[in-house]
Structure 1
Amino acid sequence: MEFRLRPLSSAPPTPLTAQDIRELVEQILGIDALPPIVQAGHPVLRQHAAPYDGQLDDSTLLRLIEVMRRTMHDAPGVGLAAPQIGIPLQLAVLEDQFDVDPAASAARERAPLDFFAMLNPVYAPAGSETASFYEGCLSIRGYQAVVTRHRKVALDYVRPDGSSAHAELSGWQARIAQHETDHLHGALYLDRAETRSLACNEEYSARWAQPGTGQARAELGFPAG
């Protein structure tokens, strides 16, 4: 049977106007520190972010992207969506240059991902294959859970310079793109997760950090994706 992602509840649109968003961005850019990453329970994470349509001038947009990149590195993480720093705008940054265990890297198809920023991203499955792995989020600090996602996706987005872009992604790169795009639509990874797999970071590291999820499935009692 063809796999379909677990349906998500519709998220309400952000109530902020373009002017509100500009003022919020200027406030964040005006502080002499990296912005905090908001945590689950903050309403911005449960709102459909505003599509980017020129709310920021080019210079401000690039400054915001650089702050998001630094915040992602500092966390550290492999992706960060604007709502995660409180800005309800369809913008995310992605980069994965972590040196991970070769066995885990092979099992998860985790290849290095060069930095890029995407505006108004949309993804679609490229084929019917899926993959299930533990996944975490900078906005749900301290926990991980197994999420089944499309193994390959076609990603369309707008670059910061306004040009259209298309990418065919697979493995962990596809997972990152799906995770960050979901953020922009008011969804968290827990909405798609096998909740019986939920583990705090300490238990995950001690018990479930193998390349695959077979042992966790057997002992925690959740189905294969």
Structure 2
Amino acid sequence: MGSPRDHKPLAEQVEELLAAGGPLPIVAAGHPVLRSGAEPFDGQLGPALLARFVEALRVTMHAAPGVGLAAPQVGVALRIAVIEDPAPVPEEVRVVRGRVPQPFRVLVNPSYEAVGTERAAFFEGCLSVPGWQAVVARHARVRLRALDEHGAAVDEEFTGWPARIVQHETDHLDGTLYLDRAELRSLSSNEAVAARWGGPTPERAARELGFTLPD
């Protein structure tokens, strides 16, 4: 049975969320909103309310902390996500993973498609699956199409870690969690990742946990 909030207009749901102030509560795996697929944004929130909601997503993402957050992760089934990555990582990690800083962006009604066939596999986590990480093979380069918060078209290619973030957050809007794409034999607690699998690549984890990385 859904909660009363599930049946309220989206604008009313968002107003209720924002009324509490501060970072928004992040829903965890098991909540139906993470599996239902989000509704395309078509003006359900007026410009002022949309701006407030986007700012709340930004604050929540920073507080978590994370590098992306989709509206369903705070219980709102709209195709809106935010991303931002200061990429505070060692040079070796930056080079291997292609993790470069990304400015704050708002993605409205995003979709992506692979560019080429190359895939890259790394440990990945999710704010809605707290405490765990797993290796996920994703497209190394994607083309993103979306709108920004002002309705301007976005058509851009992303590579490396930014491409991973785009795929992860857009997947949320389709009701997909990273675990659906993960090599489940790699599933590790955050503590295990820090203690054992902290290298730039998951090759050691693949050997010791018994899973195969993509060619």
Map 1:1-225 → 2, pairs under 5 A = 20-225=9-214
Taking the aligned partners of 1:140 and 1:178, their CA distance within structure 2 comes to 16
Task: Tell me the alpha carbon deviations over residues 58-89 of structure 1, each in whole angstroms, 9 at most, x when there is no partner.
Answer: 11001100000000000000000000011000
Q: What stretches of structure 1 of length at least 5 have no aligned partner?
A: 1-14
Taking the aligned partners of 2:188 and 2:90, their CA distance within structure 1 comes to 20
> Percent of aligned positions with the same letter in both sequences?
50
Q: Superposition RMSD on alpha carbons, in Å?
A: 1.2
Taking the aligned partners of 1:33 and 1:159, their CA distance within structure 2 comes to 23
Question: What is the CA-CA distance between 1:161 and the residue it aligns to?
Answer: 1.0
Taking the aligned partners of 1:120 and 1:50, their CA distance within structure 2 comes to 9
**TM-score normalised by L of structure 1:** 0.91
Taking the aligned partners of 1:168 and 1:203, their CA distance within structure 2 comes to 33
What letter matches 2:100 in structure 1? A
Question: What is the CA-CA distance between 1:98 and the residue it aligns to?
Answer: 3.2
Question: What is the CA-CA distance between 1:101 and the residue it aligns to?
Answer: 1.6
Taking the aligned partners of 1:163 and 1:32, their CA distance within structure 2 comes to 28
**TM-score normalised by L of structure 2:** 0.95
Taking the aligned partners of 1:16 and 1:114, their CA distance within structure 2 comes to 32
Taking the aligned partners of 1:218 and 1:26, their CA distance within structure 2 comes to 49
Task: Tell me the alpha carbon deviations over residues 169-200 of structure 1, each in whole angstroms, 9 at most, x when there is no partner.
Answer: 00000000000000000000000000000000
Question: What is the CA-CA distance between 1:99 and the residue it aligns to?
Answer: 1.1
Q: What stretches of structure 2 of length at least 5 have no aligned partner?
A: none
Answer yes or no: is the 8 Å Cα contact 2:108–2:146 preserved in 1.
yes
What letter matches 1:28 in structure 2? L
Taking the aligned partners of 1:115 and 1:65, their CA distance within structure 2 comes to 11
Question: What is the CA-CA distance between 1:102 and the residue it aligns to?
Answer: 1.3
Task: Tell me the alpha carbon deviations over residues 11-42 of structure 1, each in whole angstroms, 9 at most, x when there is no partner.
Answer: xxxx967x621110010111133211110011
Answer yes or no: is the 8 Å Cα contact 2:87–2:99 preserved in 1.
no
What letter matches 2:104 in structure 1? F
Helix, strand or coil at the partner of 2:157: strand
